[in-house]
Structure 1
C-alpha cells in the first residue's frame, strides 16, 4: 500500500492501493510531500528484518522507540509543488 505524508504535516493524509492512485490524488490537490510504499499486514521493522533488508546490530535495535520510528525502506517518491 502507499501512504502520502505532506510536507510539515503531523499525520499522513492519504492511503492508496497503488503508486499511480496516490500520484493522481497528489496531483489533483497540488500537494508536496512523500508518497511511500508500506508493507500491508505487518510493521515496517518486522518486514525489513524478515526480508533481510535490516539486521539488528545495536542494543537499541528492536526497542519500542526504534520500532515506532522505523521507516519502511521501500519505494518512495518525493513530490515538490
Structure 2
C-alpha cells in the first residue's frame, strides 16, 4: 500500500507536514521538539474506504454512510505514533 505520514500538532486542526518516509518524519519531529501525532495515511483512497476494505470498520448505523460521517472519518486502526517534545511516547 502506498502511503504518506501526516503530522498533526497537539492543538492543530490540520496537518502541518507530510512525509513519504517515517524516518524523515521522525527526524523533523525530533529536530523541532514537537508534540502531536504522526499518522500513516493510504494514498488514493479515503480512510473510510480503506478501513472498510481492511475490515477495521463496519457500518452499523445509517449515519455511518452520511457524507458528514465519511468526511470526518479517522481510524485508530491506522498506524500512528504520539510524540511529546520530539520524543515518541
Q: With the length of structure 2 as denominator, give the TM-score of the two structures.
A: 0.84
* Count of residues in correspondence between the two structures: 81
Q: Distance in 2 between matches of 1:31 and 1:2?
A: 15
Q: Where is the strand percentage greater, Structure 1 or Structure 2?
A: 2
What residue number does 1:3 align with? 6
CA contact (8 A) 2:33 2:84 kept: no
Name the residue aligned to 1:52: 55
Runs of 4+ residues over 3 Å off in structure 1? none
Structure 2's unaligned 5+ residue stretches are: none
Match of 1:27 among 30, 43, 53: 30
**Aligned Cα root-mean-square deviation (Å):** 1.0
TM-score using structure 1 length: 0.92
Question: What is the match of residue 77 of structure 1?
Answer: 81
**1:15 and 2:18 aligned:** yes
